[in-house]
Amino acid sequence: MGVSENYKTIIQELESLKPVGTPTLIAVSKFQPKEKVQEAIAGGVIHFGENRVQEGIEKFSDLGKPEKDFILHHIGPVQSSHIRKYAGLYSFVHGVGSQKVLEELKRRMDGDRWKIRYFLQVNLTKEDSKSGFSKEEVLGLLRNKETLSSEFCILEGFMTMGPSSGDPEETRKVFREIAELRKEFCPQGKLSMGMSGDYRIALEEGSDYLRIGTAIFGERT
């Protein structure tokens, strides 16, 4: 099946499982050729995710107007050196995982006058391979919630990854814990969780943004 058929099949599934408050589906196009992105845009896909800022620039900068023809998300761990490249193209960042990155993001976006919405990455699995804040660190940040957003840099919510084991029960536990954190400490915040292998669990646990690559585009080349 083609890219837009896969996308539509998942959208239909999401709408049938959750007709009210259906999460936003981000088509993760990392490592996929530009032709597939063009095909997806022609088929009505709006939200895309790239994990390498430069790859996203190469693919998307002449595909139309950001925020109008497509909305581009930077997903995965963010390094400070990425941030100066966001202006003019990226609308969302999923994976702000350190104080240093957070400060640089605010400084740059306010300087560039380019609006970005970001997710704090929360790492509950404590796997060394995953970056992000611990739950305690996030609670610390939320104590000064007003400092977390500025004119051009806006806290959208929390992002997490399921455990590498892929175990469904473990995955659900992690997603549920983030959902509870949101409910208790930042009810207006959104949740970015769920990938090809675990998006149904994420949906059940209240995710607002699903980041799905393989199930839409096929295996990465």
Ligand X SMILES: *Cc1c(COP(=O)(O)O)cnc(C)c1O
Footprint on this chain of ligand X (rule: CB under 6 A): 28, 30, 51, 75-76, 195-197, 211-215
Closest to ligand X by CB, 189 vs 213, is: 213
Torsion from C-alpha of 71, 89, 40, 74, nearest 10 degrees = -70
Of the pair 6, 206, the CB lying nearest ligand X is at: 6
Q: Which is nearer to ligand X, 97 or 213 (CB)?
A: 213
Q: Which is nearer to ligand X, 129 or 188 (CB)?
A: 129
Q: What angle do CA 133, 136, 138 make, to 5 degrees?
A: 50
Q: How far is the CB of 204 from ligand X (least distance, A)?
A: 17
Least distance CB 75 / ligand X (angstroms)? 4
d(CA 101, CA 203): 28
Task: Quote the least distance from Cβ 199 to ligand X, whole Å.
Answer: 8
Residue nearest to ligand X (CB): 213
Nearer to ligand X, 28 or 122 (CB): 28
- The CB-of-195 to ligand X minimum distance in angstroms stands at 4
Backbone φ, ψ for residue 185 (5° rounding): -115, -15
Cα distances (angstroms) measured from residue 171 to each of 48, 111, 161, 180: 24, 39, 9, 14
Distance between CA atoms of residues 132 and 63, nearest Å: 32
Burial (0-12, 13-18, 19+ Cβ within 10 Å), 92: buried
Least separation, in Å, of the C-beta of 144 and ligand X? Answer: 27
